[in-house]
Amino acid sequence: MDNLILINIIILVSIALIAAAVLYFVSQKFKVTENPLIAEVENCLPHANCGACGKAGCHDFARACVNTAAEDFKKLYCPVGGNAVMCQIAHLLGHPDIIKEETVAVLRCQGSCQNAPDKVEYSGIAFCRIANKISSGRSGCPNGCLRLGDCVRACPFGAISMNKETGLPVVDEDKCTSCGTCVAICPRGIYEIRPKGAQTGRVYVACNNKQKGGIARKNCKTACIACQKCAKICPDIKIENNLSYIPTTVPADKFGAELAANCPTKAIVYIGNKNKEEEVKHD
Amino acid sequence: MLKISTAPHMSSPVDTPILMRDVVIALMPAAIVSVLFFGLAAIVVIISSVAACMLCEYAVCRWLLHKKSTLHDYSAIITGLLLAYNLPAGFPVWMILIGAFVAIVISKMAFGGLGKNIFNPALVGRVFLFVSFPLQMTTWPKPHFLDFWGADAQTGATTLGILKQLDASTSATALSKYGPNLDDLPNYWQMFIGYTGGCLGEVSAAALLLGLAYMLWSRVISWHIPFYYLSTVFILTSILWLTKGSPVYDPVTHLLSGGLMLGAIFMATDYVTSPMSTNGKIIFAIGCGVLTVIIRLCGAYPEGVSFAILIMNAFVPLIDRFAAPRIFGTRRK
Amino acid sequence: MTKTFPMGGIHPDKHKIAGDIAISNPGLPEIVYIPTKQHIGAPAKIMVKQGDKVKVGTLLAAADGIVSAPIHSSVSGEVIKIEDVIGEFGYYEPMICIKVEGDEWEDSIDRSDAIVRTIPENTEEIIAKIRSAGIVGMGGAGYPTPIKTTIPEGKKVDCLILNGIECEPFLAADDRLMQEKGEQIIVGAKILNKLLGIQKAIIAIDENKPRAIEIMTKLTKTYVGVNVRVCESKYPQGGEKQLIAAITGREVPSGKLPVDVGCIVQNVGTVFAIYEAVMKNKPLFERVVTVSGDAIEKSANFMTRVGTPASFLIEQCGKISSDLGQIVFGGPMMGTSAVNPNAPITKLTSGILLLSSQMSDKKPETPCIRCGRCVDGCPMGLQPNAIARAVRSHNMDALLELHVLDCIECGSCAYICPARLPLLDCCKLGKIEVRQHQNKK
């Protein structure tokens, strides 16, 4: 009886030893030697693997950081981690700090259920990319938001949510990492990555409609009608294809409030830096 | 207001509840036969099983998942009927409740409800009862035709049970005088009609074939699974019968007895737990057939249909992956 | 023996109400809106200006490049404006608006009913006429015909198939055309034969069109080399790949064209247009349009001028049911529901269907019960349910493995699904995602 127990123990222990030995040799044999810096850099990164930096993932980005010269390092930026992470990496690698202005995704459309009411009933599958193929959408605006939420589903950080009342997606400024997924997925290219404007606030044209003013207004109260008023206030503003565009270089603190107040259709949105409550758009 | 939607702008009138309702209709002949042969006891089993399954589904939807009840799609009724068909008449009602609970709550709703379960719920319920209450599960009353109350119902062995004992006694050299003998076996006609011992739904091959005919006619199922399943069993037992010559291997008896017909027609063809492509269905059915024969002839249990189908259920995802249909424009294999 | 394709297919209700109704003339509307893009490729270059007087058949816009087609006026009158007008899907497109005055045709067009049977000898001349007539594939693809009939270097064509299947429910435009203009179609087939340098042509007709089969069979007796083949009534029999498989047994490999297996398929409507262009010098400016559906009193087949607003045709078909759900341009299986019923008919509009809410509303989705009907019904041998699952879980590897790009978007899967899953939409989305993924690489 004692013998039996002993034999069992010996068998089990030897199996364990053999397995351990095999594992050891295999791990030695297939060991990949990599610059330990890469692992260190990777540890700083957010591990979202979103690809927003243009690399295949965080590991790839870390490798690129370590393997590039000081000049090229400036071109690398992790929009998710932001300045804090990039400074940390720069410190690790002995490069000068990288400071970029923080950016955020903005929806250039205010075609809510109220501003651009439904003209037809859409009963197909709730995917913008499909709806965009078969029609100009419920409101009739061929460039406006389809209000079906492809961006909400696509956002890897859960920063976009649907406002049930307006039907429009809302970007959570704090969660948004400006990774650009929404820009890529929106079939109408409504999203734009713009500077967050922590000090200055930000001002942009919240309309994407490239039709003539009269036609655009038929479908939406807040459409840009290319009336040139904004261009008169600030000459940097360009108007192309019946649509005004405010370049990111226009100082929002200087012109923002005036532009927004003077836009006859309230297509220009100014979000100041102080009162967060007032950020809620005009409607 | 005009409506816009994506193509196609019309859809087939057949939807899930209609398909399921057709299966319920196809199950009816077997219910009638079982009532004719087993009387009140059969009605008690069927009604309590269906009611218990519906109650379980309703309860889970209502109080656990907090969503609209899915009773309207008839799937709980099918599970209830199939579970009842797999039980002997006079089976205790409280055990039926346990079986229904296992079938619906554990085997179906826990996986996510209709369409997501891996194993056939009714079979899981039956196998659970079979291993938990082997005595009650193998107490088969003898059929008493048109004797509704059936108060003096005797119990007896099933055809397959007799075969198993026969097999055991012949191989164990000492031929027992009191052991089973060939005369106990019902003749083919009795087996076809269902005048034999067994579970409620499985006794009458005729009623089940009628149901099969209805399902084929209304295009609820394709013919592949029943055909390949039954032929596999028939061919394998024929080979053994021809080479060994023992009545234990009689192919017709094997075809008509036990749960084979019920399994091949209603259980193996369950949409959710069978492969989707035609090739997959053929592989699945042949697998079921081979396993059934192996369990029946080599295993300890006289009956192997439920285990065979459950085992093959587990292979369905794999079969689906490797028996995908040929894509148009790719080379024929 | 009826022929059919090797896998899949479904049997939707036919609703071929319009098949018994003769082609009629709806008359002329007050204003026509002629889009400058009625084909695949570049929009045509506008050649007229506001205030110009035009006749029926006058060139309005010239082809801009090889993959493009010219546009001709379908009415006589004055060009009142050239601007962006809302089309059937709600998108604004550049259109030429012409106020109708009388019905004066260009002199070069032969308006007699006599059938011309002598085919020009010069193939260059034939192809030039087809090109200048602005003929495009009228089955719905809108691919310019001159390109399709030019065989690429190194390829050999031995089989010309005339597609008279019209497998979409409701539609009967091709059916009526074969019944009424059968001989012209056959002469058109001979013209194509000449162009392709082959002797034979096969007219494929669905078995649900007995009169068309009878008429065409009788007519083909006097024409050597033209034969009628009856195909099983199964959807999507009229799909190009499916039709070739049914007639010749050849399968067009994934990602290849019919020419690669030596076949050319032309819609009978296109062939009729070729006949008129080559023999009668008539550009493509009118076509047969079926107006039908279960939400309208009468069905009709109209020989409609391009640019006529759809509502002009609908008004002539009696009362619209109060249960009207959708107005569909094209067939109910592959057509698109229109946002704007005033949108003009184009060269590609085979039908206008008014469908009731009861028929066309999307039914609520229920869980997939894995019944396998979509797999059995897919004419391309795909697994729509697996594709839908992969799309919803963003599984790109699975999408590629499932060959989603082979989907012909026939809608069989979504039609047959008892759980009412939007399988077709998922397949389309899958295709979009795969293309995006491939472009990124």
For residue range B215-251, what is the model confidence (pLDDT) as tens digits? 999 999 999 999 999 999 999 999 988 988 777 788 8
Q: Which token pair is B87?
A: 């039980």
> Looking at the partner chain, which of B1, B2, B6 has a beta carbon nearest the beta carbon of A134?
B6
Q: Which token pair is B261?
A: 């017909």
Band (pLDDT 50/70/90 cuts) for residue B182 is: low
The burial class, CB within 10 Å (0-12 / 13-18 / 19+), for B279 is middle
User: Chains touching chain B at 3 or more Cβ pairs under 8 angstroms?
Assistant: A, C
Q: Which token pair is C92?
A: 């604004």
- CA B42 to chain CA centroid, nearest Å: 17
Output A240 or C32, whichever has higher pLDDT.
C32
As a whole number of angstroms, the distance between CA A19 and CA A22 comes to 5
As a whole number of angstroms, the distance between CA C202 and CA B166 comes to 68
Together in a domain, B218 and B77? no
pLDDT value for A58: 85
Q: Is the peptide bond before B8 cis (omega within 30 degrees of 0)?
A: yes
For residue range A17-55, what is the model confidence (pLDDT) as tens digits? 999 999 999 988 888 787 888 888 888 888 888 777 777
Band (pLDDT 50/70/90 cuts) for residue B180 is: low
Q: Would you call C92 and A142 a contact, using CB atoms and an 8 Å cutoff?
A: yes
A25-47 burial string, b = 16+ CB within 10 Å, else e?
eeeeeeeeeeeebbeebbebbbe
Residue of chain C nearest A118, judged by CA positions:
C339
Name the minimum distance, in Å, from the CA of C428 to any CA of chain A: 7
Task: With CA atoms as reference, report the closest residue to C62 among C78, C39, C91.
Answer: C39
pLDDT at B129 over 90: yes
Residues 6 or more apart in contact with residue C41 via CB below 8 angstroms: C65, C67, C68, C69, C144
- Whether chain C has a CB inside 8 Å of the CB on A122: the answer is no
Name the minimum distance, in Å, from the CA of B218 to any CA of chain C: 14
Q: How many separate helices (H) and strands (E) can be counted in chain C?
A: 14, 17
Task: With CA atoms as reference, report the closest residue to C235 among C382, C334, C338.
Answer: C334
Residue of A49, A50, A121, A123 to mutate, interface with C, max C Cβ within 10 Å: A123
Longest dimension (CA), chain A: 101
Q: Under a CB-based contact definition with an 8 Å cutoff, are residues C52 and C112 in contact? A: no
Q: Which residues pair with A204 in a beta bridge?
A: A269
> Looking at the partner chain, which of C324, C370, C422 has a beta carbon nearest the beta carbon of B276?
C370
Task: With CA atoms as reference, report the closest residue to C83 among C98, C63, C67, C68.
Answer: C98
As a whole number of angstroms, the distance between CA C24 and CA C270 comes to 19
Together in a domain, B120 and B161? no
Q: Does domain A39-93 fall into CATH 1.25.40? A: no
Ramachandran class of A255: left when φ > 0, alpha when ψ lies in -120 to 50, beta otherwise: alpha
> Looking at the partner chain, which of C7, C169, C369 has a beta carbon nearest the beta carbon of B325?
C7
Q: Under a CB-based contact definition with an 8 Å cutoff, are residues C375 and B321 in contact? A: no
Name the minimum distance, in Å, from the CA of A4 to any CA of chain C: 52
Q: In degrees to the nearest 10, what's the CA dihedral of B122, B124, B129, B131? A: 150
> Looking at the partner chain, which of B2, B6, B7 has a beta carbon nearest the beta carbon of A120?
B2
Q: Under a CB-based contact definition with an 8 Å cutoff, are residues B80 and B52 in contact? A: yes
Percent of chain B whose pLDDT exceeds 70: 89
Q: Would you call A134 and B1 a contact, using CB atoms and an 8 Å cutoff?
A: no
3.40.50.620, 1.10.150.20, 3.30.70.20, 3.40.190.10: which CATH number matches A103-271? 3.30.70.20
The mean pLDDT value of chain B amounts to 85
Task: With CA atoms as reference, report the closest residue to C384 among C358, C411, C355, C352.
Answer: C411
Q: At A184, is the secondary structure helix, strand, or coil?
A: helix
Together in a domain, B260 and B309? yes
Strand duo C59-62 + C45-46: pairing: antiparallel
pLDDT value for B148: 66
Q: Would you call C254 and B116 a contact, using CB atoms and an 8 Å cutoff?
A: no
Output B152 or B333, whichever has higher pLDDT.
B152
Name the minimum distance, in Å, from the CA of A222 to any CA of chain B: 23
Q: Would you call B4 and A122 a contact, using CB atoms and an 8 Å cutoff?
A: yes
Together in a domain, B202 and B99? no
For residue range A1-21, what is the model confidence (pLDDT) as tens digits? 678 899 999 999 999 999 999
Of B137, B167, B200, the one marking the end of a domain is: B137
- Whether chain C has a CB inside 8 Å of the CB on B65: the answer is no
> Looking at the partner chain, which of C90, C425, C436 has a beta carbon nearest the beta carbon of A142?
C90
> Looking at the partner chain, which of A121, A131, A134 has a beta carbon nearest the beta carbon of B1?
A121
pLDDT at A277 over 60: no
The burial class, CB within 10 Å (0-12 / 13-18 / 19+), for B234 is middle
Q: Would you call C84 and A137 a contact, using CB atoms and an 8 Å cutoff?
A: no
Residues in chain C with CB shorter than 8 Å from the CB of B271 are 369-372
Residue of chain A nearest B1, judged by CA positions:
A120
Band (pLDDT 50/70/90 cuts) for residue A276 is: very low
> Looking at the partner chain, which of C336, C337, C432 has a beta carbon nearest the beta carbon of A129?
C432
- Token look-up 């040139």 returns A228
Together in a domain, B48 and B94? yes
Q: Which token pair is A52?
A: 């927003």
Tell me, yes or no, whether B41 lies in a domain.
Answer: yes
> Looking at the partner chain, which of B6, B19, B222 has a beta carbon nearest the beta carbon of C418?
B19
Name the minimum distance, in Å, from the CA of A140 to any CA of chain C: 6
Q: Would you call C362 and A124 a contact, using CB atoms and an 8 Å cutoff?
A: yes
Residues in chain C with CB shorter than 8 Å from the CB of A136 are 89-91, 339
As a whole number of angstroms, the distance between CA C350 and CA C345 comes to 9
Residues in chain B with CB shorter than 8 Å from the CB of C335 are 7, 9
Q: How many domains does chain B have?
A: 2
Together in a domain, B298 and B176? yes
Tell me, yes or no, whether B94 lies in a domain.
Answer: yes
Q: Which token pair is B99?
A: 């079986």
Together in a domain, B269 and B297? yes
Residue of chain C nearest B75, judged by CA positions:
C369
Task: With CA atoms as reference, report the closest residue to C401 among C430, C375, C372.
Answer: C430
Band (pLDDT 50/70/90 cuts) for residue B332 is: low
Q: Under a CB-based contact definition with an 8 Å cutoff, are residues B111 and B134 in contact? A: no
Tell me, yes or no, whether B209 lies in a domain.
Answer: yes
Residues in chain C with CB shorter than 8 Å from the CB of A133 are 428
Name the minimum distance, in Å, from the CA of C139 to any CA of chain A: 19
The helix (run of H) or strand (run of E) holding residue C123 is helix C123-132
- Whether chain B has a CB inside 8 Å of the CB on A118: the answer is yes
Residue of A49, A123, A125 to mutate, interface with C, max C Cβ within 10 Å: A125
A246-273 burial string, b = 16+ CB within 10 Å, else e?
bebebebeebbeebbeebebbbbbbbbb
Name the minimum distance, in Å, from the CA of C273 to any CA of chain B: 28
Output C14 or B101, whichever has higher pLDDT.
B101
Q: Which token pair is C390?
A: 């992969």
> Looking at the partner chain, which of B1, B3, B4 has a beta carbon nearest the beta carbon of A134?
B4
Its domain, for residue B59, covers 17-137
Tell me, yes or no, whether B75 lies in a domain.
Answer: yes
Tens digits of pLDDT across chain C (441 residues): 678 888 888 998 888 888 888 899 988 999 999 998 888 888 888 888 888 888 888 889 888 888 888 999 999 999 998 888 888 888 888 899 999 988 888 888 888 888 888 888 888 888 888 889 889 988 777 888 888 888 888 888 888 999 999 889 999 999 999 999 888 999 999 999 988 888 889 999 998 899 999 999 999 888 888 899 999 889 889 888 999 999 988 899 888 888 889 899 999 999 999 999 999 999 999 999 999 998 888 899 999 999 999 999 999 888 888 888 899 998 899 988 888 888 899 888 889 999 998 888 888 888 999 999 999 999 999 999 999 999 988 888 889 889 999 999 999 999 999 999 999 999 999 999 899 888 876
Strand duo C59-62 + C53-54: pairing: unpaired
Residue of chain B nearest C367, judged by CA positions:
B115
Q: At A20, is the secondary structure helix, strand, or coil?
A: helix
Together in a domain, B188 and B238? yes
Tell me, yes or no, whether B1 lies in a domain.
Answer: no
Strand duo C201-206 + C226-231: pairing: parallel
pLDDT value for A281: 46
Q: Under a CB-based contact definition with an 8 Å cutoff, are residues C150 and C123 in contact? A: no
pLDDT value for B181: 57
Together in a domain, B121 and B173? no
Residues in chain A with CB shorter than 8 Å from the CB of B2 are 120-121
Residues in chain C with CB shorter than 8 Å from the CB of A119 are 339
Together in a domain, B75 and B182? no
Ramachandran class of A266: left when φ > 0, alpha when ψ lies in -120 to 50, beta otherwise: left
Tell me, yes or no, whether B10 lies in a domain.
Answer: no
Residues 6 or more apart in contact with residue C126 via CB below 8 angstroms: C119, C120, C191, C194, C195, C278
- Whether chain C has a CB inside 8 Å of the CB on B317: the answer is no
Task: With CA atoms as reference, report the closest residue to C136 among C338, C372, C346.
Answer: C346
Residue of chain B nearest C398, judged by CA positions:
B321
- Whether chain A has a CB inside 8 Å of the CB on B10: the answer is no
Residue of chain A nearest B7, judged by CA positions:
A124
Task: With CA atoms as reference, report the closest residue to A207 among A111, A82, A132.
Answer: A111
Q: Under a CB-based contact definition with an 8 Å cutoff, are residues A223 and A110 in contact? A: no
Together in a domain, B175 and B205? yes
User: Chains touching chain A at 3 or more Cβ pairs under 8 angstroms?
Assistant: B, C
Residue of chain B nearest A125, judged by CA positions:
B6
Residue of A113, A118, A121, A129 to mutate, interface with B, max B Cβ within 10 Å: A121
pLDDT at B70 over 90: no
Q: At C35, is the secondary structure helix, strand, or coil?
A: strand
> Looking at the partner chain, which of C84, C91, C425 has a beta carbon nearest the beta carbon of A125?
C425
- Token look-up 């297919």 returns C9
pLDDT value for B147: 66
Of B104, B137, B170, the one marking the end of a domain is: B137
